[in-house]
Chains A and B, each alone.
Chain A
Amino acid sequence: MTIAPRTRKKSGKVGQSELLSSRDLRGIMDTALRLAKSTGSAETEVHVDEVADALTRFANNGIHQNVFEHVMTVSIRTATGGRTARATTNRLDEDSLRATIEASLSLAHSQPRDPGLLPMPGRQRYRKVNRFIKATAALTPEDRARAVRLACDLAVKRGQVAAGIFSSGMSQTAVGNSRGLSAAYSETHSQFSITMQEDPAASWAKADSVDAREIHPQKLAARASEKAHLAVKTQELAPGRYTVILEPAAVLDLVGFLFYDFAATALRDKRSCLNDRMGKQVFGKNINITDDVFHPLQKGVPFDGEGMPRQQVLLVDKGVPQNLVYSRASAKAARKKPTGHGFALPNEYGEAPMNLVFSGGDSSVEKMVASTDRGLLVTRLWYIREVDPYEKVMTGMTRDGLFLVENGMVTSAVKNFRFNQSLIGMLKNVELMSPAARTTGEESFEMVVPAMKVHDFHFSEITKF
């Protein structure tokens, strides 16, 4: 028997798919909670997630992949006698939900009792946030194809080759439990990303928004095209320490590796670079970082994996790590209040900040270039990995446009470098910042970050292009 008819329109659709109405979503959750009660679960938590996403992918100046997905999952956590476990399905009939509850109970019963397991939280209050944009939800494959066609036409006109994506979609998530907690959230999302290639060079631009109307594919294509052309003739520089101007995407993909260290559980496990460093002057005094899901440039679910409302948390104040984020369990262990950043239970990682906002500055990439006698302008970084977890040394490559700055001007393109750079050291050496902007890259989740001018950035080796 199918519980939800899945025919009712919510407030938008991607292609021919529609999200469930909030009533239908609630209906699935109530059914799961009712079934769990009848199967003997002392406490039950239900997550219902629905995604309808479309992505148009292009390369060699034409669309080569074009996909749509509709995914619905119901995830059920049971807790009985100090034992908890999770089972997940995408089958919504009552028999399947009952089997999923039984699987969760069976998993839970198989383990030793955990005396520290907390009872599930009760009803919570949530601040409203609206990030569901009908215009984004209504974007069609034809709309995306036409935008892609214009970008590819520009590439052809300039003797270049375009590759990239244009995606749009919508999602909703709901969490409820047997103690009366109930939370729901929906949002839309859209991204356009483009790489323009002019042999042997390439450059790249990308934008991300809940509102597809704020994404301007032709402007992004033009920017990537101009930078690719500038990058055709490269010179080779010696590795070493350079002043760098990191465009926001380069900043994002690098600093994104820092934030799991702000989890209270990571400190407790002694795998955070902030062990023995909280409350100390770790970064430069110009670095201020907050986690704030309600920031106007942010997006994402305003509650955590247990349904706790996300709080605004000041993580770094004038270069000093001041606060961590807490799940309910890590908060209890540390005698703090939960901040609403916990992952869905059970898990071993605890929590993490997911909505980072840097305070930024009043400079700009142009002003940074103008203020630099000799340095490098970095478009984007690639394949970033952690070399030293405590000093937070990261390695990776520059990609898609590395330019030499001399006497306040971009003078030439430069062959790509490998870097081995401590993130802690980097955030001590920030000279200038632009205002923070919503930024998207390829190696980190989206954040609100500035462009940065950083001195003594360590490039260790060079590649062949």
Chain B
Amino acid sequence: MWDLSSNALDTAKLRGASYSDVRVMHLRQRDLTTKNGQVGTLAQSESIGIGVRVLAHGAWGFASSDRLTRENVAACAAQAVSIAKASALAKRSNVVMAPEKAYVDSWQSPFRKDPFEIPLETQLAVLLAADGEMRKVKGVTLTETNMQFRKIDSWFASSIGSRIHQRKVISGCGIGATSFQGGEIQKRSYPNSFGGQHALEGYELVGSLELMKHAPVIAEEAAALHSASQCPEKFGTLILAGNQLGLQIHESIGHPIELDRVLGQEANFAGTSFLTLDQLNKLKYGSNIVNVVADARLDHGQGLGTFAYDDEGVPAQCTDIIKEGKFRGYLSNRETAHLIGLERSSGTMRTESWNRLPIIRMTNVSLLPGTWDYDDLIAATPDGILMDTNRSWSIDDRRYQFQFSTEIGWEIKSGKKGRMLKNPSYSGITTEFWNSCDAICKFDHWTLWGTPNCGKGQPMQTMGTGHGAAPARFRNVRIGTAFSKQ
């Protein structure tokens, strides 16, 4: 692979590139699903190719190809330079990159069991057993289970001398039960919606989920939701389970801190951000107990945003985003870092595949644990609503106003978890919401959740991001709006 990369870098230089980097990537994926006790999807895929990014005449060009011969790789690099020169016809200014050292390294994400070495029969048996447990419950009309495994090798080389090989193994697994009854569809998922939990782990992730224990529970809940009370419409105290809080972080912190958004580079599609540059180190983003980091290092956990180097050859870092409630940092790359006075990229350039340009992406954007024991938090809440597992999510294109609904809720009365509530939802303004946070559970209740389906960029790229969260409490939140009949 290094020969092909060097060939591309040499060609780009010869054609007039002042900088170039190359990613050869080999992606392998296995997908298994069941539905109502039968196998649904059963598929395996692989894709290998090269992406060449060059800077020529002060502008960017990118070309990719799956033709991995010496001649085709050279043609691909030449095409990238030709595209960069065309970009220069309508450039705004010359691209300037923050300095970065060259690295020669090889890294593999840790895993105990290679999911591609586990017999398919074993994997399907686990899913069919969980599927069967859910189907035993009366009132359940649809059962679904899934596993997804990925193994990604990338060879990064740049004209400043970096040569970095990384191998990542990613696993995902989840189950869901749906009940249609009396003109109402209710669903419960475990351990999360969007196909469950996803992490930079091996097959050991599946075992840790204890699907057989949870399958009957969610199936019973799906059926029971039909007779549950409707979530009331009011302003009140809200406790979010960790899986929902993970998505709240993703949408109302993770996206607004992307510097490409802030600088208008995503204005036509993903949108911009309310976090204009004058807000840095000034905005009171949340209450004093809110501490958020963007941490791609393995020390933070094996999340979907964990790596050793980003796709621009910058080592993984931990960046303070919110410290004691104050807004402290953005996600940047080598092109944007200097625009906010940073000497170095925060290392967040990521690409979906060899045929996509790396763009600024969330890594693991996590709310750091607080001090509360979960039982104490419930006991210390006289009147509130607990919401669990996302059902819908939406936020405006500058990331101010959001609305989320969850699959299930529970009333909290006099410090105890009470009756089940159906169709729970809440909404608010980002900074008002985070400033209303008055309790966060401790590390014992903290999970690094994986969001596998974050879409951004044109052409669209889907990326996995990590979000560490423990249950947390918020005051005076608008509840129940999504189902308002007003």
Partner-B contacts on A (CB < 8 A): 6, 15-17, 53-73, 75, 84-91, 100, 103-104, 106-108, 110-112, 114, 140-142, 144-146, 148-149, 152, 161, 163-165, 167, 193-195, 197, 202, 204, 239-240, 269-271, 275-276, 346-348, 382-390, 393, 395-397, 399, 416, 418, 420, 442, 458, 460-465
Q: Are B47 and A73 in contact (CB under 8 A)?
A: yes
B418 CB to closest chain A CB (Å) equals 24
CB pairs A–B below 8 angstroms (19 shown): A60-B265, A66-B86, A67-B64, A85-B42, A86-B43, A86-B44, A88-B47, A110-B119, A112-B128, A114-B39, A146-B90, A382-B271, A387-B391, A397-B394, A397-B395, A458-B486, A463-B429, A464-B401, A465-B396
B58 CB to closest chain A CB (Å) equals 10
Q: Are B86 and A142 in contact (CB under 8 A)?
A: yes
Let me know if B107 is at the binding interface, CB within 8 A.
Answer: no
Q: Are B62 and A383 in contact (CB under 8 A)?
A: no
Give Cα distance in the complex from A66 to B65, angstroms: 15
Q: Are A194 and B63 in contact (CB under 8 A)?
A: no
Q: Are B265 and A59 in contact (CB under 8 A)?
A: yes
The residue on B at minimum CB distance from A206 is: B268
Q: Are A387 and B405 in contact (CB under 8 A)?
A: yes
A163 with B40, Cβ < 8 A, contacts A6-B67, A145-B86 known? no
Q: Interface size for chain B: under 10, 10 to 19, 20 to 34, or 35 or more residues?
A: 35 or more
Interface locus among B75-83, B167-175, B216-224: B75-83
Chain B 344-357, CB-CB to A under 8 Å as 1, else 0, gives: 00000000000111
Q: Which of A61, A107, A388, A465 contacts B92 (CB 8 A)?
A: A61
Contacts of B187 in A (CB 8 A): 389
Q: Are B87 and A56 in contact (CB under 8 A)?
A: yes
The residue on A at minimum CB distance from B42 is: A85
Contacts of A416 in B (CB 8 A): 396
Q: Which of B64, B185, B458 contacts A70 (CB 8 A)?
A: B64
Which B residues between 458 and 472 are near A, CB-CB below 8 angstroms? 458-459
Q: Are B142 and A165 in contact (CB under 8 A)?
A: no
Q: Are A387 and B482 in contact (CB under 8 A)?
A: yes
Give Cα distance in the complex from A418 to B46, angstroms: 41
Let me know if B392 is at the binding interface, CB within 8 A.
Answer: yes
B73 CB to closest chain A CB (Å) equals 12
Q: Are A387 and B392 in contact (CB under 8 A)?
A: yes
Contacts of A389 in B (CB 8 A): 185, 187
Q: Are A63 and B87 in contact (CB under 8 A)?
A: yes
Find the residue from B144, B267, B268, B398 having the highest chain A CB count within 10 A.
B268
Further contacts, 14 of them, CB under 8 A, given A67-B83, A195-B268, A390-B184: A15-B83, A16-B75, A53-B459, A62-B93, A63-B60, A66-B84, A85-B44, A86-B42, A100-B46, A110-B42, A140-B86, A149-B89, A194-B268, A271-B142
A399 with B397, Cβ < 8 A, contacts A68-B83, A88-B46, A386-B392 known? yes
Let me know if B244 is at the binding interface, CB within 8 A.
Answer: no
The residue on B at minimum CB distance from A88 is: B45
Contacts of A86 in B (CB 8 A): 42-44
A60 with B87, Cβ < 8 A, contacts A67-B62, A397-B396, A420-B481 known? no
Q: Which of A108, A270, A397 contacts B178 (CB 8 A)?
A: A270
Let me know if B279 is at the binding interface, CB within 8 A.
Answer: no
A91 with B48, Cβ < 8 A, contacts A6-B67, A418-B401 known? yes
Main secondary structure of the interface of A (DSSP, over half): strand
Contacts of B119 in A (CB 8 A): 110
Contacts of B93 in A (CB 8 A): 62
Q: Which of A15, A145, A270, A387 contacts B87 (CB 8 A)?
A: A145
Q: Are A141 and B429 in contact (CB under 8 A)?
A: no
Enumerate the 5 nearest inter-chain pairs by beta-carbon distance, A residue then B residue, closest first.
A62-B92, A348-B40, A110-B120, A141-B86, A463-B401
Let me know if B91 is at the binding interface, CB within 8 A.
Answer: yes
Q: Which of A60, A66, A70, A276 contacts B183 (CB 8 A)?
A: A276
Find the residue from A75, A146, A463 having the highest chain B CB count within 10 A.
A463
Contacts of A197 in B (CB 8 A): 264, 267
Give Cα distance in the complex from A9 to B90, angstroms: 31
Let me know if B59 is at the binding interface, CB within 8 A.
Answer: yes
A356 CB to closest chain B CB (Å) equals 21
Q: Are B265 and A385 in contact (CB under 8 A)?
A: no
Q: Which of A63, A70, A465 contacts B66 (CB 8 A)?
A: A70
Q: Are B41 and A463 in contact (CB under 8 A)?
A: no
Q: Are A385 and B46 in contact (CB under 8 A)?
A: no
Which B residues between 18 and 54 are near A, CB-CB below 8 angstroms? 33-36, 38-49
Q: Which of A59, A62, A88, A383 contacts B268 (CB 8 A)?
A: A59
Contacts of A16 in B (CB 8 A): 75, 78-79, 82
Q: Are B482 and A393 in contact (CB under 8 A)?
A: yes
Q: Are B178 and A383 in contact (CB under 8 A)?
A: no
Contacts of B65 in A (CB 8 A): 17, 69-70
Chain B 471-486, CB-CB to A under 8 Å as 1, else 0, gives: 0000000100111101
Q: Are B86 and A193 in contact (CB under 8 A)?
A: no
Let me know if B266 is at the binding interface, CB within 8 A.
Answer: yes
